[in-house]
Structure 1
């Protein structure tokens, strides 16, 4: 839960630096659990917009919008940690294949030592800031 709150409090729109695997996957896990709970509450309380398969839960939609920027920033920092440019996140726009490739990238080990996005957060105990040069 600390990783989740750290992303929201300290790195809400921080696209610079690097993020460890643990930080990324803990954010994804907590995000998934919260989304399931909110979707269930939306369904039980009838808080839906639209008809048929296009219905959207109000609470889950508001939550999704609230975590869109920090989730995107975290994804970019995770790619930086593996030595890749954050622009690789645009692969998500390619159906199926893009998601699979990004999943593989997110699972990769951190690039050892410093890279052009900063020092290895694993070696420095957290999220590493971008270098000041």
Structure 2
């Protein structure tokens, strides 16, 4: 499968979560998404150049980068989200895994909601007490918030590693014990493999 065949297949099977996608098809799709993101990001930085802050304060620099408009990238992410999930599900099937492994993506999202609520409760409890105006959170509260938020990255990385390992596995046929794909007729004289 060529690069353009993989892109065409990704859009043709936009919401197809059944069947299979080869390693080449999957990784060409990933390459397409990365290249599209680079092109759109470059185009957005030309159309809407980042505002250079007056000072070299890292917070102002970070704020100027975060507030830069990215409508093209946002639209592309929305358009490519579903076919990305679909091609990943088909790649899992091709490697012999259930597409239900995609639900693992919900673990960091669910923990993020828990961590954000916990962080807001900590901040709220501090600022509702009788504290002087302009007072900052004590270091103990900051450490608690950091320990609430840090596992989000660890969980996200763990899910990423598991999904990469699954997508790197070679193709398994029905005759090799892959129950997620349809059997293909054997060629004359081909006895297949034993599982």
Q: Could you say which structure has the greater relative contact order, defined with CA pairs below 8 angstroms and 6 or more residues apart? A: 1
What are the equivalent positions in structure 2 for 1:1-133 lying under 5 Å apart? 1-8=4-11, 10-46=12-48, 52-55=64-67, 56-92=69-105, 93=108, 94-113=155-174, 115-119=178-182
The aligned length equals 119
Of structures 1 and 2, the larger Rg is shown by: 2
User: Structure 2-normalised TM-score?
Assistant: 0.55
Deviations along 1:37-56, one digit per CA (max 9) or x if unpaired, are 001101110088xx534345
Q: Secondary structure at the match of 2:75?
A: helix
Distance 2:27 2:77 in 1: 17
Runs of 4+ in 1 over 4 A off after TM superposition: none
1:58–1:2: structure 2 CA closer, same or farther, 3 Å change rule? same
User: Structure 1-normalised TM-score?
Assistant: 0.79
> Where do 5+ consecutive residues of structure 2 fail to align?
51-62, 109-154, 187-195
Distance 2:81 2:21 in 1: 17
1:119–1:75: structure 2 CA closer, same or farther, 3 Å change rule? same
Kept after mapping to 2: 8 A contact 1:14/1:73: yes
CA RMSD of aligned residues (A): 2.3
Q: How far is the alpha carbon of 1:5 from its aligned partner?
A: 1.4
Larger helix share, 1 or 2:
2
Kept after mapping to 1: 8 A contact 2:92/2:99: yes
Kept after mapping to 2: 8 A contact 1:110/1:120: no
